[in-house]
């Protein structure tokens, strides 16, 4: 049923080695043109498909790169996956996108032996990895949550947050709340610390609007519900700006505010972090810092491919500060 090199060799009455040479393209001058042709056509005709496992086993390299993410769905992740794919596409490597998280244990995510790992937004996971693994397989960590133990392309979320919150102060807001998943509402979290710092500088009081849902998939809906509850009835919480943990949450808040009859930005200014394009399509479009998706994907892959060629390279590091994109959710703009 399944055709192997042996089958081809037997049928053609040549040795396995010859077939191997031809089919793997290492036959430079070793094998006659005639045999080459015969082997190729036999392989095609018999429907031969190389067993990569066997090749990988002996070569010690799988040509496989694992891209580790928390999830596939929210646009923030799928953007990044998309861009990383574009980088790896056309190289000799194959991308294996795998989820890490609560249900998928770290070890399972790297279930397959891979030549390299690209870990997006999951520093804790990297830090959890056993040292011998870290030593034996190149890892590049990238995203807002990056590990400094390995090559990394980071995003400075602290600075990003500063620029968003300062922008809110600059446009005259005084009651700036922070819409945040409960699990991230603690010092040590870059957004939290930057938010607090910024408000302290401006002599304003922090206000936390906490959302229960930590799972990124439902962040938008969860944020919407919390903000809806907040503005329900006449208990207007006297908020005039809402800084959101993510654009997903900003989108949820956006809908809740509109439905509560709250005007954006005149009543409440809204801004997020990420810069997924959905924010641009909202009305008014949402102010946010924009993750340099392409740049990150490109650099992360560059770091990894270099490392793949030379394991002794010194640590490669880059930290980017995402630019603030001011849109209609904080500043009244005329439509273009």
Which residues would be at the binding site for DNA (CB under 7 A)? 2, 4-6, 13-18, 20-21, 23-24, 26, 29-35, 48, 50-51, 54-55, 57-60
- What radius of gyration, in Å, describes the C-alpha atoms of the chain? 26
CB of 108 to DNA, least distance (A): 15
Nearer to a copy of itself, 159 or 298 (CB): 298
Return the residue of 32, 91, 128, 259 that touches a copy of itself, per CB under 8 A.
259
- Contact region with a copy of itself (CB under 8 A), list: 100-108, 143-151, 175-183, 207-215: 100-108
C-alpha 153/C-alpha 314 separation (Å) is 14
Residues 126 to 185 in contact with a copy of itself, rule: CB under 8 A: 130-133, 135-136
CB of 63 to DNA, least distance (A): 11
Return the residue of 167, 173, 254, 307 that touches a copy of itself, per CB under 8 A.
254
Q: Does 25 bind a copy of itself (CB under 8 A)?
A: no
CB of 139 to DNA, least distance (A): 20
Q: Does 220 bind a copy of itself (CB under 8 A)?
A: yes
Q: Residue 242 corresponds to which tokens in the numbers above?
A: 């809402």
CB of 38 to DNA, least distance (A): 9
Residues 70 to 99 in contact with a copy of itself, rule: CB under 8 A: 71-75, 77-79, 81-82, 85, 89-90, 94-99
CB of 177 to DNA, least distance (A): 53
Dihedral, 117, 122, 123, 129 alpha carbons, nearest 10: -50
Location of structure tokens 């006297």: 238
Q: How far is CA 188 from CA 125, 158, 174, 197, 246, in A?
A: 17, 10, 24, 12, 17
**Long-range CB contacts for residues 76-82, cutoff 8 Å, separation at least 24:** 76/216, 76/246, 76/247, 76/248, 76/274, 76/276, 76/291, 77/120, 77/121, 77/216, 79/276, 79/291, 79/293, 80/120, 80/121, 80/143, 80/293, 80/296, 80/297, 81/120
């Amino acid at each position: 049923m399944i055709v192997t090199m042996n089958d081809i060799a037997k049928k053609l009455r040549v040795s396995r080695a010859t077939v191997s040479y031809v089919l793997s393209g290492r036959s430079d001058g070793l094998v006659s043109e005639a045999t080459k042709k015969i082997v190729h056509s036999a392989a095609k005709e018999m429907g031969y498909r190389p067993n990569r496992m066997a090749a990988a086993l002996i070569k010690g390299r799988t040509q496989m790169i694992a891209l580790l993410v928390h999830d596939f769905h929210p646009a923030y992740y799928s953007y990044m996956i998309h861009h990383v794919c574009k980088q790896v596409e056309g190289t000799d490597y194959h991308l294996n996108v795998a989820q890490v998280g609560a249900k998928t244990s770290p070890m399972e995510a790297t279930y397959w032996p891979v030549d390299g790992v690209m870990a997006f937004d999951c520093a804790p996971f990297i830090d959890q990895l056993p040292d011998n693994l870290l030593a034996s397989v190149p890892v590049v960590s990238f995203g807002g949550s990056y590990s400094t133990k390995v090559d990394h392309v980071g995003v400075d979320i602290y600075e990003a947050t500063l620029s968003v919150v300062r922008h809110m102060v600059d446009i005259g807001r005084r009651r700036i709340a922070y819409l945040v998943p409960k699990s991230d509402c603690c010092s040590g979290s870059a957004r939290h610390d930057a938010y607090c710092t910024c408000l302290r500088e401006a002599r304003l009081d922090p206000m936390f609007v906490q959302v229960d849902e930590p799972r990124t998939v439902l962040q938008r809906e969860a944020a919407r519900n919390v903000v809806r509850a907040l503005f329900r009835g006449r208990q207007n919480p006297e908020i005039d700006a809402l800084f959101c943990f993510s654009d997903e949450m900003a989108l949820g808040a956006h809908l809740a505010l509109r439905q509560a009859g709250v005007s954006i930005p005149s009543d409440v200014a809204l801004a997020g972090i990420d810069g997924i394009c959905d924010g641009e399509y909202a009305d008014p479009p949402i102010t946010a810092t924009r993750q340099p998706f392409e740049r990150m994907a490109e650099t992360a892959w560059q770091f990894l491919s270099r490392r793949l060629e030379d394991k002794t390279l010194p640590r490669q590091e880059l930290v980017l500060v995402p630019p603030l994109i001011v849109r209609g959710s904080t500043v009244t703009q005329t439509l273009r």
